[in-house]
């Protein structure tokens, strides 16, 4: 992977997007995301999470002691996590690659 987009090669990966839950952040189905597992998942970051075994790309919301995963498409609800759900933040999105037309 090119070092200009993957500063930590051992922890950086490319993944292809499926779905449209985050289109208002300019991330569309079939785009490629460069993600970095070494980056800190902080409030407001777009990240890949695994919720109850299902991968999703959302914006992380950490305020007031509550953890939410925020979509960027009004057709999708926020994921408000409860103590019975399993959340694993897999990586933070560092770049978005769009296919040339």
pLDDT in tens, 36-53: 999 999 999 999 999 999
Show which residues are catalytic. 21, 58
What gap in Å lies between CA 73 and CA 9, rounded to an integer?
31
Residues 6 or more apart whose Cβ sits within 8 Å of residue 23: 72, 73
pLDDT in tens, 61-91: 998 888 999 999 999 999 998 888 889 999 9
Supply the CATH classification number for the domain 9-97.
2.10.109.10
Q: Tell whether the model's pLDDT for residue 4 goes beyond 90.
A: no
Q: How far apart are CA 69 and CA 36, in angstroms?
A: 18
Alpha carbon 10 to chain centroid distance?
19
Q: pLDDT band at residue 92, thresholds of 50, 70 and 90? A: very high
Quote the CA–CA distance of 4 and 23 in Å, as a whole number. 25
């Amino acid at each position: 992977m090119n070092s200009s987009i993957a500063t930590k090669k051992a922890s950086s990966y490319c993944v292809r997007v499926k779905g449209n839950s985050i289109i208002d952040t300019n991330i569309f189905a079939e785009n490629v995301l460069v993600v970095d597992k070494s980056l800190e998942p902080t409030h407001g970051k777009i990240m890949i999470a695994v919720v109850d075994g299902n991968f999703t790309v959302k914006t992380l919301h950490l305020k007031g002691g509550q953890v939410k995963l925020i979509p960027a498409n009004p057709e999708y609800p926020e994921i408000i996590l409860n103590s019975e759900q399993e959340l694993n933040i897999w990586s933070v999105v560092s770049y978005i690659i769009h296919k040339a037309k």
